[in-house]
Amino acid sequence: MAVRNFLSCAKYLLVAAGITGVGGLAFLYSGIYPMGADVPHNALTYWGLETLRERSIAQAASDIKVPKDLDSAERLLKGGADYNDMCAGCHLQPDKTQTDFTLGLYPAPPNLSSNGSEHGHDDEGEYAQQRQFWIIKHGIKASGMPAWAPGHDDERIWNMVAFLKRLPGLSSEQYQILTARGENSEGHGH
């Protein structure tokens, strides 16, 4: 008796799973999901994608060894100049609130010159640096965030992580001085 109950129950579950699968496929092929960057995901898709992204990064990044000397002036200068050249167009800088990229990309690039807590996670602890290093190196699929590993070695990426650590507190004057690649014309003693 118990065995027969179990069998019929399993049969119903199987049929239900089949219907869900076929329904899912029909949905994919129907073309009704809006793919344009100007229509946000619904809450379920958003949750699913965000969970997928954060779990994947956490899994991949938690073993990365963070250099001990991130708080160095040398790293700030190298990373700052690179950030200004390659990232500020999407991730902003002090006193800038938007660019064409921040307005048009979906997911929108977070403003890295404001604190992490303002875009959904806090910047405490080593994981923040591991996570940023991984994201800069590998990029994020199906978002505007490129992988920077081609053409940029790990040291250069760590320099940018070092800069990102200090970026939220910088004034626009400090930002300009730290990121300028040119030489200062004043005070040259050689």
Q: Which of 155, 11, 132, 25 is nearest to 3 (CA)?
A: 11
Tokens of 51: 């969970």
Closest distance of CB 185 from ligand HEC, Å? 28
Tokens of 71: 């708080």
Cis peptide before 34 (omega within 30 of 0): no
Which of 70, 77, 78, 148 is the binder for ligand HEC (CB under 6 A)?
Answer: 148
Q: Which residue's C-beta sits nearest to ligand HEC?
A: 87
Contact 87, 160 (CB under 8 A): yes
The whole-angstrom separation of Cα 29 and Cα 72 is 53
108-127: which residues touch ligand HEC (CB under 6 A)? 109-110, 116, 119
Question: Which partner from the list ligand HEC, Cu ion, another protein, none does 14 bind, CB cut-off 5 to 8 Å by kind?
Answer: none
Which of 64, 96, 138, 140 is the binder for ligand HEC (CB under 6 A)?
Answer: 140
Q: Tell me, by CB under 5 A, how many residues bind Cu ion.
A: 1
Is residue 132 at the binding interface for ligand HEC, with CB under 6 A as the rule? yes
Nearer to another protein, 77 or 136 (CB): 77
**What is the identity of the amino acid at 66?**
V
The whole-angstrom separation of Cα 29 and Cα 136 is 34
Closest distance of CB 105 from ligand HEC, Å? 5
Question: Which partner from the list another protein, Cu ion, ligand HEC, none does 150 bind, CB cut-off 5 to 8 Å by kind?
Answer: another protein
Tokens of 104: 């048009």
Closest distance of CB 86 from another protein, Å? 8
Is residue 31 at the binding interface for another protein, with CB under 8 A as the rule? no
**What is the identity of the amino acid at 188?**
H
